[in-house]
A and B are shown apart, each in its own frame.
Chain A
Amino acid sequence: MLGVVGTTTLACSPYELQTQQRRPARPTPSAAQVPAADPDVELATTVVAAERALLERIEATVGRHPRLERVLAPAREVHEEHVTLLEDAVPEGADSSDEETAATGPPSVEPGSVPADEPTEPGRVPQDRARALRDVAAAEDALALTAKQAAFAAESGAFARVLASLAAAAAQQSAVLRTTRVWGGRR
């Protein structure tokens, strides 16, 4: 699995990457072998940071609304899988602090002035359960947009494919959460 988007792939041409997709997974070389200037590493770092921010939001939401744990479990599993795959594409020491700040949403927003489609600040989970769920859905949309932009910009075709798929998965989660009743069942 990781061979598709592992550390090797980011330094390969799209043609090589397409070829690799048809091969069985193989061990990838260490992260130190990835050229630091590879622009796709930066994209991977950005998307990983956005994924982690979303996972933190899910954790915070479940912490405040334990009854949402079952509803949010599938989303958590999806994003944990994304992070697992992408982390192999980010060399050790790659700084994601700037991207993480960007991925956590807009700067401080006054309570009550948050637009309906914008999630509240990550650490601030709405008291209303339905609103909290909508916030996670909005965060899924934001992640999908980040991943789509990264897919567009990626130099590696195979990595672009991975990021586009990731964006589609986030969009699916958003759609599911937006049609989920707050007590657990789909509409």
Chain B
Amino acid sequence: MTPLEAMQSTLAGEHAALYVYGVLGGRVSASAEPALATALRAAHDVHRVRRDQVTAMVRAAGEDPVAAAVSYALPNRADSARRCRRAAALIEERCCEVYAAMVGSTARANRQWAIDALTDAAVRGLTFGVEPTPWPGAPEL
């Protein structure tokens, strides 16, 4: 995978994460599940910033950033707080994998960005019930 391919793949992941977090945020009651609602909103904000950052990286590399799809399949039905939490956990786990791939395919500032994003997503996932693992983002290890 070239650095550009890795960045485009990460950007595609950010588009998907943003979409899913947007849906999840609309399905969780801030009054009934205030902690979950806050965590979902925070995750949405983080991924929006990351999307913009990766978009800038791709542009800086001289390519057009991959566009977002019209819609994305949710990781599950997301029809309860428990399922919304699980969906968020799956999103962070998937993001960990694309960030880890980007670490392996980039260098310097772009790699540093991916290293930090991987750590953040791995820890953020705990908020949504992800179990700690020895190799976040690299499950085949």
Please report A residues at the B interface, Cβ cutoff 8 Å: 1, 4-5, 14, 17-18, 21, 74, 77-78, 81-82, 85, 144, 148, 151-152, 157-158, 160-162, 164-169, 171-173, 175-176
Contacts and interface: CB of A to CB of B under 8 A. Distances in A.
Interface of B: 1, 96, 99-101, 103-106, 111-112, 114-116, 118-119, 121-123, 126, 132-138, 140-141
Contacts of A157: 103-106
B109 to A, nearest CB: 10
A180 B133 CA distance: 17
Given A157-B103, A161-B137, 4 more contacts: A21-B104, A148-B119, A165-B135, A172-B126
A161 B104 contact: yes
Contact of A151 (B96, B103, B121, B132): B103
Nearest to A79: B134
**4 shortest A-B CB distances, which residue pairs?**
A161-B104, A168-B122, A157-B104, A172-B132
24 contacts: A14-B105, A78-B132, A81-B134, A82-B134, A148-B119, A152-B115, A160-B103, A160-B111, A161-B103, A161-B137, A161-B138, A164-B114, A165-B136, A165-B137, A166-B134, A166-B135, A167-B118, A168-B96, A169-B132, A169-B133, A171-B122, A172-B132, A175-B123, A176-B132
Question: Main secondary structure on chain A at its contact with chain B?
Answer: helix
